[in-house]
Amino acid sequence: MRTTVGIVGAGPAGLLLARLLHNAGIDSVVLESRDRAYVEQRQRAGILEQGTVDVLRAAGAGERMDREGLRHDGIELRFDGRRHRVDFPALTGGRSVTVYAQTEVCKDLIALQLEEGGPLLFGAEALAVEDAGTDRPRVRFRYEGREDVLDCDYVVGCDGFWGVARQAVPAGLSRVFERTYPFGWLGVLADVPPSHDELVYARHERGFALLSMRSPEVSRLYLQVPQGATAEEWEDEAIWDELERRLETRDDWRLRRGPITSKSVTPMRSHVHEPMRYGRLFLAGDAAHIVPPTGAKGLNLAVGDVVTLARALTHEKETGSAALLDAYSETCLRRVWQAERFSYDMTTLLHSDPGASPFDGRIQLARLERIAGTRAAETDLAEGYTGFPLDEAV
């Protein structure tokens, strides 16, 4: 098989890239190791930055998002039993975010790709990217029990943190910057209307809690849990009890309980692989970088990468100039590091680190007081949360 751009992975990065290239008249083939149902049901992100919403709409993938997505103009920070609302439009010149689940973004992009785009093969596992340093890169993959080869002009690794594409960068050229955290998130979906109309980020001595949602009828909630904890060890009632404790306020706010329909634990890490390009192999999304989920940056960063790459490939096609492709890694990394900083700040602001001292706890509260009490600090959070415009580095 042969194509212009071989895309490994059909998460949000790979699917959106295929759509953007299709719109620009550039051929691609997407290889995805899992089946369609798995990709469409994997519970993950829920918050789209304004820039992500604009990109999906412009790509012709925004119709259902515009109907069903929930525009959110703020979040609530909860600490010390107090509640502080951060008003995004007022602080950022009108920006907001949209609650629309990653599962739905993927469903919309898959339907479009199968209807209008190039091949998207489910159950096609990439085994290796080969000859990335030459003009003829290729992907070796297994499909329907047979090994095959996809010959390409360019290969894009959109295969997430555990993918194979990154391994094609020679070890001597790779630099990895990493941090792990001594806790994870237990995430649950519950068939109950959200207990607040905006997201609530709570700092508590017992650990972080997050109240989010998927729709007016479905709540999404997260609890900080110790590293290595499993979802099975948490009974449903214990989850609700713990959420109630960590989200408690001094006023009469109440948590609504309902049937929990799914639960899973996610480890937390920060990870950046530099550079994001080797020869004719480009890395995009989680294949190149991971952020801890606090602040919801991962999917939005993946979107930023593939928009930058689609523009660069289109520029090359139209002008013959590889200048934007050559700048790809550097352009993306400026934005990536700002998101890494933001996610790190949000994580350390709100989680309780088992190794922290009482002093560290007081510093956290002082940082929260500063955000709640000064417009400059609050604006910094609002700008980071709603996302930096795609054309700007920071």
Residue 325 Cα distances to 10, 16, 176, 229, angstroms: 22, 18, 21, 42
Give CA–CA dist 108/64, Å, rounded. 8
Among ligand DHB, ligand FAD, none, what binds residue 33 when CB lies within 5 to 8 Å by partner kind? ligand FAD
Decide: is 164 part of the binding site for ligand FAD (CB under 6 A): yes
Judged by CB under 6 A, does residue 199 bind ligand DHB? yes
Among 160, 295, 384, 387, binds ligand DHB (CB under 6 A): 295
Render 60-105 in DSSP notation, one character per residue.
T--HHHHHH-EEE-EEEEEETTEEEEEEHHHHHTS--EEE--HHHH
Q: Are 103 and 215 in contact (CB under 8 A)?
A: no
Does residue 313 interact with ligand FAD by CB under 6 A?
A: no
Span from 142-150, 158-166, 189-197, 292-300 in contact with ligand DHB (CB under 6 A): 292-300
Would you count residue 84 as binding ligand FAD (CB under 6 A)? no
Instruction: Return contacts of 291-294, CB within 8 angstroms, 24+ apart.
Output: 291/339, 291/340, 291/343, 291/344, 292/181, 292/268, 292/343, 292/344, 292/346, 292/347, 293/45, 293/185, 293/222, 293/266, 293/268, 293/343, 294/201, 294/208, 294/210, 294/343, 294/346, 294/347, 294/350, 294/351
Q: CB 58: neighbour CB atoms within 10 A? A: 12
62 binds ligand FAD (CB under 6 A): no
Phi, psi torsion values for 107, nearest 5 degrees: -60, -45
Is 46 or 279 the residue whose CB approaches ligand FAD more closely?
A: 46
Distance of CA 90 to the CA centre of its chain: 25
- Which residues lie closer than 8 Å to 325 by C-beta, 6 or more apart? 277, 282, 312, 313, 315, 316
CB 328 within 8 A of CB 282: yes
Residues with a catalytic annotation lie at: 72, 201, 293, 297, 385
Binding mask 201-240 for ligand FAD (x = CB under 6 A): ----------------------------------------
Judged by CB under 6 A, the stretch of 62-70, 298-306, 326-334, 346-354 that binds ligand FAD is 298-306
Element (H, E) at 292: none
**Which range of residues in 29-37, 157-165, 238-246, 293-301 is near ligand DHB by CB under 6 A?**
293-301
Of the candidate spans 55-63, 113-121, 293-301, 327-335, the one that interacts with ligand FAD by CB under 6 A turns out to be: 293-301
Q: Are 365 and 359 in contact (CB under 8 A)?
A: no
Report, in Å, the least distance between residue 9 CB and ligand DHB: 20
Pick between residue 141 and residue 240 the one whose CB is nearest to ligand FAD. 141
Stretch that binds ligand DHB, among 53-61, 152-160, 287-295, 373-381 (CB under 6 A): 287-295
Q: Which does 295 bind (CB under 5 to 8 A by kind): ligand FAD, ligand DHB, none?
A: ligand DHB
Q: Are strands 97-99 and 47-49 parallel, antiparallel or unpaired?
A: antiparallel
Answer yes or no whether residue 286 interacts with ligand FAD by CB under 6 A: yes
The interface partner of residue 289, options being ligand DHB, ligand FAD, none and the CB cut-off 5 to 8 Å by kind, is none
- Does position 296 interact with ligand FAD (CB under 6 A)? The reply is yes
Q: Examine residue 272 and tell whether it contacts ligand FAD (CB under 6 A).
A: no
Nearer to ligand DHB, 117 or 207 (CB): 207
Complex with ligand FAD: residue 160 or 279, whichever CB lies closer: 160
List the interface residues with ligand DHB, window 19-48 (CB under 6 A).
45-47
- Per rule CB under 6 A, is residue 302 in the interface with ligand FAD? yes
Which tokens go with 319? Answer: 């002008």
Residues that bind ligand DHB (CB under 6 A): 45-47, 199, 210, 212, 220, 293-296
Interacting residues with ligand FAD (CB under 6 A): 8-14, 31-34, 39, 44-47, 102, 125-126, 158-160, 163-164, 185, 187, 266, 285-286, 293, 296-300, 302
